[in-house]
Each structure stands twice: as structure tokens, then as C-alpha cells.
Structure 1
Amino acid sequence: MLKKIFKNIQEKSLKERFLLVLAILFFMFYLVLGLFIIFMKEFPLDMAMGYRIAFGILLIVYSIVRGVRIINDN
């Protein structure tokens, strides 16, 4: 399966590969941002811990949705 994915990526145009890399970077950005918001001790914004956890989980779920869309488009 992994071989099929790499073959599919190599068949894409340069623009499509760039957009795929950009989509993967944003997937990782939202995932890491959600984890930072939940686990960072000295959070710069004054938010209650319950709201921080909710916002962090929302960002993580959004990143998972983006990841699933990346996989389905390829």
C-alpha cells in the first residue's frame, strides 16, 4: 500500500506535490498547536483549563479531519 502511495505522489505534477506538502504541514501544525495548548504550563493567554482542553481537542480533531481528507484525496 505504501508503495502505491509513493507511486501516486511521483505521478503528480509539481504543483500538486507542493500542495500536498503544504497540506501535510498544516495538518502537523494544527496537531502540534492543539497539543501545545493542552499541555503548555505557561500559556500566554488567560484561559481557564477547561477551555484550553476543549480548544486543544477541537484543533486536534480538525487536524485529524484534514489528515483523513489528505489520505482520501490521494
Structure 2
Amino acid sequence: MLSNNNKEQKSPKRRFLLILGGAAFVCFCIMGLALIFWKDIPIGSDPTQRKIFGGVILVYAVLRFSRYLRKDPDEVDEA
């Protein structure tokens, strides 16, 4: 039998942190993609260095967002 774990809404704090984490994820992704694909970006660096730094920013964005999707250890599901 399937259990319904969506009985309770998320707390306002958890909801705010999820929205803030999503916004940070989008901003970091846009910044990383801009560094990788924007050829005339006004940063005086080698194109290879820009692509590597853009990739690092994208990896950081994914790792940061994955932290927000994990449950806190103090949150216990009631069976």
C-alpha cells in the first residue's frame, strides 16, 4: 500500500530556503554558462581558463542545490 508523505506542508523556513536555493542555483548556472559560451565577455583571461572556471561554477551550483534537496537528519517521517 502506498503511503502519503505529503500530508503536512513544509515549514515557512524550509520553503524559503528551498526558494532561495533554487534562485542561487539558477544564478550560478547562468553565470557559469555565460563564462563558457559568451565569447566577448569583458574579462581579460584566456578562453580555456574561462571555460574551466565556468565548469567549476556549474559543478558548484549542482552540489549546492543537491544539499537543499536532501532531508535534514532531524526531520523524521511519521509512519
Alpha-carbon shift at residue 47 of structure 1 (Å): 0.8
What corresponds to 2:56 in structure 1?
Answer: 58
Alpha-carbon shift at residue 73 of structure 1 (Å): 2.9
Q: Where do 5+ consecutive residues of structure 2 fail to align?
A: 73-79
Q: Using the alignment, how far apart are the partners of 2:11 and 2:69 within structure 1?
A: 17
What TM-score, normalized by structure 2, do the two folds share?
0.74
Shift >2 Å, 4+ stretches: none
Task: Point out the structure with the larger helix share.
Answer: 1
What TM-score, normalized by structure 1, do the two folds share?
0.79
* Identity across the alignment (%): 32
CA RMSD of aligned residues (A): 2.1
TM-superposition CA deviations, 1:38-69 (whole Å, max 9, x none): 10121111110111011000000001101221
Q: Looking at both structures, which has the greater relative contact order when contacts are Cα pairs under 8 Å and sequence separation is at least 6?
A: 1
Name the larger-Rg structure. 2
Q: How many residues align?
A: 69
